[in-house]
Amino acid sequence: MSIKTKCLSRRTKVLSWTPENLLRNGLIAGRRADRYPHCYSIDVGAGGPAIIRDGTRLPLKREAGWYKDAIIYQIHVRTFFDSNSDGIGDFHGLAQKLDYVQELGVNAIWLMPFFSSPLRDDGYDISDYKSVHPSYGTLEDFKTFLSSAHDRGIRVIIEMVANHTSDQHPWFLESRSSQDNPKRDWYVWSDTDTTYRGTRIIFLDTEMSNWAWDPISKSYYWHRFFSHQPDLNYDNPAVCEEMWNVMKFWLELGVDGFRLDAVPYLIEREGTSCENLPETHEVIRELRKKVDDQFPGAILLAEANQWPADLRPYFGNGDEFHMAFHFPLMPRMFMGLRLEDRKPITEILQQTPEIPATCQWCLFLRNHDELTLEMVTDIERDYMYDIYASDKTMRLNLGIRRRLAPLLDNDRRRIELMNGMLMSLPGTPIIYYGDEIGMGDNIYLGDRNGVRTPMQWSGGWNGGFSTADPESLYSPPILNPVYGYQAVNVLSQKRTEHSLLSWMKHIMRIRRSSPVFGAGSIEFLYPANHRVLAYVRQLGKETVLVVNNLSSAAQAVELDLRRYKGNILIEMFGRNIFPRIGDVPYLLTMGPYQFYWFRLRRI
Amino acid sequence: MAEETVLTDDFLRQLINVGEVDILVGLPTHNNARTIEPVIRAIQAGILKCFPRERVVIINADGGSQDGTPELVIRASIDDVWNVSKVYALRTLHSISTRYARNPEPGTALRTILAAADLLRAKACVVVSPDSTTIEPDWLQRLVRPVYNDNFDLVAPIYRRQKFEGVLMRNLLYPMTRAIYGYRVREPYASEFAISGRLATDFLTKETWNAEWGRIGAEICLTITAITGKYRVCQSFLGTKAQPARSASDLVAAMRRTVGALFLSLDSNFPLWSAIADSQPVPTLGAQSEVMLEPVRVNRKRLREMFATGVAQLEPVLRSILSASTLSELQRIAALEVNEFNYPADVWAKTVFEFAASYHKCVISRDHIVQALVPLYRGRTLSFLLENRDGSGQDMEKSVESLCGEFERLKPYLLEVWADRK
Amino acid sequence: MWEIIITELTQALQELARGFAHYLPRLIVMLIIALVGWVIAYLLKVLVRSILRLTKFSKLSENAGATQLLNQAALPSSTELLSRFVFWVAWIAFILLGVSVLGIVGLQEYISRFFLFLPRLFVALVILFFGLLAASFFSRAALLAAVNANFRSSRLLSISIRIIISIFALSMVFEVLGVAEETMLIAFGTAFGAVMLGLAIAFGIGGKDLAREFLEKKIVTGKKEEKEDDPSPL
C-alpha cells in the first residue's frame, strides 16, 4: 500500500473535490495555498481511496457517478459477526469486521433489511421503517457503523422494501381495523379475490393467490409476495409522502443509497399484469427528483427481475434509477459455462439495450435469493435444473437456492472464471458475503436460509462468528468437511497467497486499477471458436481485451484484432508482454477455464 | 496411402472451432441447391427439438457444387454472429462445409464426414441425403437415438415406400446381402443412416479403403463392416422416402454404386461370408416395412423389349459371364410375351450369383460385368411388377421373403461357381 | 572305268568324310549351342514368369480384359503366353547362332537379318496384342452402353468399333514390320474406306428408325412418355 503525500501549494482549478479525481490527477491541487494550509494524504489502500487530513479521515463526499467504479459487497447484518454472544450478528460486530471488508477491496456495502420486523421473510417484512431490529443493535450502533465505514472509504447502501410492509406494521394494523379507517387506503383492499386476474404469482411454492382474506375487516388485501406482506397502495399520495419521509430519515443519517425491493409491483391496474406500469415509473421519477434535489450523490438501485428490454424503462432518461440488477445475465453465465458455449451470454447482452450514460448495470453471480430462473426460457430452465439442481430440494420457486462454490462443484478454476467475467463485463459487480472464500450452503434449511448461514471467520468455535453456544445461533453453521468452517474460513485463507480470498483481492485490485471496467464501452469479438468469449472494453485511450475460455478443455482461438494493429498486449495479472498485433488473426491458446485480461498498449 | 489426408487446412481450422461434439450430421452434396433447403430445415428443427442440449455439428462434404449448395448449408448455423434465422437454440450450432474434390466421389465424401466425426469425437454420426425432400425433423431422432442412447453402432433406415419403388433393393441388394452376410438389413445401401463414433473410427482405420471405394461409395461397405465386425446393428423406421426422378443412365450409375460395391465386398470378405449359412433378424424400431399402394404406370412392353434386346445383343458378353444353362434359360425367358413373362426367383438368384462369381474372377472388365447385369435386372423388374401387380403390401412382402429364401437356398451354388475355375 | 568310278567315289566319299569331319565338330558345337540355348531359354522363361507373377501382371491384363480375350482364343494365360514367347525367341536365337557356326555361306546374312528383325517383330506382336485387346474392350464397352441406352443397332456399333480398331492395329503392325508397306497402305485405305462406307450405309438404314423414334418421342407422343414411370431401383 502506498501513501502519497503532498502539501498543497499550487494554484490550479479544482475540478471536483473527490479522492478519485485527486488520485487521477496524481496530485492534490488547491485554489489558494493559504486557504488549504493542511497536509493532505491520500490513502489508496484496499478499501479504496480516502482523504486523510492531518491524520483524520474526511467524511466521504458523494461524487456523482461513484457507483460506476464501485465493487459492492452484500452483507446481512445477522449473518456477519456476533459481538454480544447472542447467536445473532449485529451492527457492532459488523463495524468490527470493516477492516476485513476494506482489505477485501470493495468500496460499497449493500445491507439487507435490518429494520424492526417479525422476521417472517428474513426482514423483508418490515414493521417499523425507522428503527433497527433489536437483535442487530440500536440506531446508535448503526450510526457508528456507518461513520466507520465512511472513514474507510466504504459507502453503504441499505434496503428499501417499498412495495409492502409486514402485516404487523402499525399502518396495516390501523388499515385493517375497520373499512373507514383513515389509513384504510394505505393498502390495496378489495371485496373480491378476482380483481387483477392477469397477475402472476411469484412465490408459486407457498402462495395460491395474490389476494388474502382479512377476517377483521372482512375483505381481501393484495400481496405480491407472502400473504403476511400486504402491498402498500402507491396510488395514495400519503403513502408516497410517508415513504419519502422514511428515505429522508436514512439519507440524513448518511446512507449512500437504497436498493429498492420489488420495484415493478408498486402500482396495480385492472387488465394488466400489474408489473412495470407507467404509474410505477411516475412514483419512481418523483422519488429520484427528491433524492437528487436534497441528497445529490445518493443512489437508487432497482431490484426488478425483468427482461432487459422491460428493465430499460427503469433507467428512464437518467431520471429514474441509477442502477438496476441485470437479472437475465446471471443464469446465462452459469449456462454458458456448463454448455461451454458463449452464445447465451452474448445473446442476452446483445438484447440488452443501451442505458443513459449516468446509469449502470449491477452484476452478480449469487445473492441472498435463489438463483432465479424466471428470465429464461423453459428449455433453458430445464437445463439449468438438470445441471445445477439435480436434487429437487435445491430448487425453490423458479430458481436454485445454492451458493456459488457448490454450484460450480467447488472447482477453483470455474469460480475464478465466473468472477473474472463478473469483474470484466460492463456493470458494477456485487459479491455476496462468503463467496469470496468459497462458502457452501445448507440445502436442508428451509426457504433461502441455506445460503444465509453464518460467515466463516476461522476454524474455531462457531467458525469465529459468535462465542455463543452453537445451538443458540440463528442458523447452524456449515459443518461438512468440504465447505464447513474448518475447511473454508477467512483466517486460513488470509495466510496463504494461493487462497481464493487472496485471489479475489488480487482481481479486485486489478479491476480498480482501471476505470475501463466500470465505465468503458464493450464490444464483442466473435471468434469462430464458440467456447471462447472475448470482448474489448474501452474508455478514452484505455483499451482492455478480455478473453475467457468457457471450456473444460484447452482451446485454440483466433481473434480478429486487426483494428488494434500495432498494439502490444500486456497481461494484467502477471504484467507480461504478449506479441504485437499484426495483420493475421491473433492466435491464443487457452487452458481449461482460463481467462486473460490484456491491456492494449501502443509503444 | 495412410498419410493421405482428406482434410484441408481450412476445414481443419473450422473443425478446431467446432470442437468436440456429441452428434455429427453429415451431408454429402453435389449441386443439391434445389432440394437441400427443406432437408437443412428439417435437420435443424430435429436438432432443436430432440437434441437441444447436445453439441451438434452439421458437416457438408461437397463434391464441387456450382449452384451455391455449400452456402445454403452454412446458413443453417445458429450462433451469436449469424443468427439471422432468429431460431431459438440453447447452444451454438455450427454448420460447416468443405469441398473434398472437384467432382463428386460418394466414398470420399463419406470418408471426409467420418474423419470429421473421428476428430471431433462424435458419439453419433448421422448421414442424411440432400435429396430426401420428405425428411421430417423426427428422422434425426429416430436415427440418432439408438446410437446415442442405446449403444447401437449402426442404424439402418426403413422407409415407407411406394409399391414399386426400391425394386433393386428388394430384388437384389437386400436378398443378396442377407444371404451373403446373414443379417436381415432391409436397406443395406441407405442414403440415410447413423453410426457410432466407435464404428466410424474403426471403419476409417480399416485397410479396405482404396480408390475404388472412394469412387463408387462405401455405404454398403460400412454396413458390411458393421455386420461382420460384431457391431450392434439395428433398423429404425423413418417415413416416406421421396424418389427423385431418375433416367436410364442413372440406373447404370446406381447399379455401379450398389451392386458393384456389393460384388467388390465379396472379394475381401470371403472367409467371413463363406461360413455363414442362414440369416438372422435385426432389431427394428417402428414398423418393419410399409408399402403405399399407389398406382404406377410402367411401360411393361418396353421393359420386356429392353430385356430381350439385352439378352440377344449381349449374348457374347453374357456367354463369358453366365453358365450355359442359365444363359439358355434366359434366352427362353426372353422369347416370352409380356402377358406370360416370368423371370423366376431361382433363375434370378443364379444369374446374380454367377455374375458375382464372374466379377470375382474378372472374366471381363468388372465394370462391364455390372453393366451387363442392367438389362437382366430390367427383366426381373418386369417379372416382379407382374407378380405383384394386384397384390397387397403384405403379398409383396411375402414375395420378397420367398426371393430371399431362394437366395439363401442357392448360396452353396455361389460357393460352387466361386471356386470353379473354368 | 570301274577304277575311275571307285576312285572318284572314294575321293568323293573321302571328300564327304573330310567335309563331314570338317563339319562334325561344328555340328556338335551347334547342337551344344542349341542345347545350352534351350537351357538358357528355359531359365529365362522361368525368370520372366516369376517376375510377371511378382508384378501381378495377370491382374493388369485381367483389368484390361486381355485374359478374357485369351480365354476366348483358348490360349493360356497372359503370363504364360509372354514367358513362352520369351522362351521361343531366345531358343530360336540360340539355334540360329548355332547354325551360323556351321559357316554356311548366305545363311549368315539371313541370320543377321533375323537378329535385326527380332526387336521389330517383338514390338509388332505387342502392338497386335494390345490392339486386339483394345478392340475387344472398346467394342464391348460400346455394346453395353448402347444396349443400356436402349440403342437399336448396338451390335453393329460394337462390331464397327472392333473392326476399326483392329484394322488400325494391324496397319500399325505392318508399318512396324515394314512388310509391303505400300501395298498395306493401299489395302488399309481401301478397307477403311469400305468400312466407313458400310458404316455410313448401316447408320443410314439403322438411323432411319432411330430418327423416327426420336422424333416420335419429342413431338408426337411426348405426353404419353411422361406418364410412364421407371420403377426406381433404390
The SS3 of residue A110 is strand
Buried b (16+ CB within 10 A) or exposed e, A136-161: bbeeebbebbbbbbbbbbbbbbbbbb
Q: Any catalytic annotation for residue A303? A: yes
Do the beta carbons of residue A423 and residue A517 sit within 8 Å?
yes
Asked whether the beta carbons of residue B79 and residue A524 sit closer than 8 angstroms, the reply is no
Q: Which three three-digit cell numbers place residue A518?
A: 466500470
Please state the φ and ψ torsions of residue A109, each to the nearest 5 degrees.
-120, 135
Asked whether the beta carbons of residue B168 and residue C234 sit closer than 8 angstroms, the reply is yes
Nearest CB among A380, A553, A556 relative to B90 is that of A380
How far apart are alpha carbons A361 and A322 in whole angstroms? 9
Residue A555, chain B, CB below 8 Å: the answer is yes
Of B334, B384, B360, which is closest to residue B270 (Cα–Cα)?
A: B360
**A/C Cβ contact: 3+ pairs below 8 Å:** no
Phi-psi map region of A540: left, alpha, beta (phi>0 left; psi -120 to 50 alpha): left
Residue B121, chain A, CB below 8 Å: the answer is no
Of B176, B327, B168, which is closest to residue B255 (Cα–Cα)?
A: B168
Residue A259, chain B, CB below 8 Å: the answer is no
* Per-window interface: B 106-125 vs C, CB < 8 A: none
Chain B residues in contact with A529 (beta carbon < 8 A): 16-17, 19
Asked whether the beta carbons of residue B94 and residue A530 sit closer than 8 angstroms, the reply is yes
Q: Which helix (H) or strand (E) holds B126?
A: strand B124-127
Asked whether the beta carbons of residue B251 and residue C148 sit closer than 8 angstroms, the reply is yes
Per-run averaged pLDDT (10 residues), chain A, 603 residues? 37 39 39 39 43 47 80 95 94 95 94 93 91 94 95 94 93 92 92 89 88 92 94 94 95 94 90 90 93 92 88 92 93 94 91 91 92 88 91 86 94 96 95 95 88 94 94 93 95 94 96 93 93 95 96 94 94 94 94 96 87
Of A67, A105, A129, A560, which is closest to residue A355 (Cα–Cα)?
A: A67
Chain B residues in contact with C154 (beta carbon < 8 A): 309, 313
pLDDT category of residue B219 using cuts at 50, 70 and 90: confident
Q: For residue A325, which amino acid is it?
A: F
Do the beta carbons of residue A403 and residue A436 sit within 8 Å?
no
How far apart are alpha carbons B376 and B379 in whole angstroms? 5
ipTM over 0.85: no
Asked whether the beta carbons of residue B16 and residue A380 sit closer than 8 angstroms, the reply is no
Catalytic pick among A141, A167, A303, A441? A303
Asked whether the beta carbons of residue B53 and residue A383 sit closer than 8 angstroms, the reply is yes
Q: In the prediction, which pLDDT does C75 show?
A: 62
- Return the partners of chain C (3 or more C-beta pairs < 8 Å): B
Does the domain made of C118-218 have the CATH classification 1.10.287.1260? yes
Distance from CA of A544 to the nearest CA of B (A): 22
End-to-end CA distance of chain C: 105
DSSP B2-64: TT-----HHHHHHHHHH-S-SEEEEEEESS-HHHHHHHHHHHHHHHHHH-SSS-EEEEEEES-
Of B114, B291, B53, B336, which is closest to residue B186 (Cα–Cα)?
A: B291
Residue C73 CB neighbour total at 10 angstroms: 9
Give the CATH number of domain A170-222. 3.90.400.10
By C-alpha distance, the chain A residue nearest B78 is A343
pLDDT tens for each residue of C36-50: 889 998 998 888 888
Catalytic pick among A43, A90, A159, A261? A261
How far apart are alpha carbons A473 and A471 in whole angstroms? 6
Mutate to test the interface with A, among B49, B82, B83, B91 (most CBs of A within 10 A): B91
pLDDT tens for each residue of C160-204: 888 888 888 888 888 887 776 676 677 777 777 877 777 776 666
Residue C10 CB partners (closer than 8 Å, separation 6+): none
Q: Compute the residue count for chain B.
A: 422
Per-run averaged pLDDT (10 residues), chain C, 234 residues? 82 81 80 88 88 74 60 66 83 81 74 78 82 85 84 80 84 78 72 74 62 58 46 67
Q: Which three three-digit cell numbers place residue A98?
A: 470493516
Does the domain made of A516-601 have the CATH classification 3.40.190.10? no
Q: In the prediction, which pLDDT does A157 show?
A: 96
Chain C residues in contact with B381 (beta carbon < 8 A): 231
Task: Please state the domain extents for chain A.
Answer: 3-57, 71-164+237-512, 170-222, 516-601
Residue with the three cell numbers 423453459: A378
Of B85, B93, B79, B97, which is closest to residue B33 (Cα–Cα)?
A: B97
- Return the partners of chain A (3 or more C-beta pairs < 8 Å): B
- β-bridge mates for residue A578, sequence order: A569
Residue B191, chain C, CB below 8 Å: the answer is yes
How far apart are alpha carbons A61 and A67 in whole angstroms? 13
- β-bridge mates for residue A371, sequence order: A400
Distance from CA of A346 to the nearest CA of B (A): 7
Predicted model pTM: 0.78
Print the SS3 string covering chain C: CHHHHHHHHHHHHHHHHHHHHHHHHHHHHHHHHHHHHHHHHHHHHHHHHHHHHHCCHHHHHHHHCHHHHHHHCCCCCHHHHHHHHHHHHHHHHHHHHHHHHCCCCCHHHHHHHHHHHHHHHHHHHHHHHHHHHHHHHHHHHHHHHHHHCCCCCHHHHHHHHHHHHHHHHHHHHHHHHCCCHHHHHHHHHHHHHHHHHHHHHHHHHHHHHHHHHHHHHHHHCHHHHHHCCCCCCC
Does the domain made of A71-164+237-512 have the CATH classification 3.40.50.300? no
Complete domains list, chain B, with CATH: 9-292 (3.90.550.10), 300-419 (no CATH)
Task: Please state the domain extents for chain C.
Answer: 26-104, 118-218
Of C39, C34, C129, which is closest to residue C82 (Cα–Cα)?
A: C129
Chain B residues in contact with A558 (beta carbon < 8 A): 13
**A/B Cβ contact: 3+ pairs below 8 Å:** yes
Please state the φ and ψ torsions of residue B92, each to the nearest 5 degrees.
-65, 140
Q: For residue A502, which amino acid is it?
A: S
Count contacts between B and C (CB, < 8 Å). Answer: 102
By C-alpha distance, the chain B residue nearest C150 is B306
Kindly state the DSSP code that residue A585 receives in the 8-state scheme.
Answer: P
Asked whether the beta carbons of residue C228 and residue B371 sit closer than 8 angstroms, the reply is no
Chain A residues in contact with B88 (beta carbon < 8 A): 377, 379
Residue A33 CB partners (closer than 8 Å, separation 6+): A8, A9, A10, A11
pLDDT tens for each residue of B78-126: 877 655 556 778 888 889 999 887 777 778 888 889 999 999 999 999 9
Of B107, B237, B129, B217, which is closest to residue B173 (Cα–Cα)?
A: B217
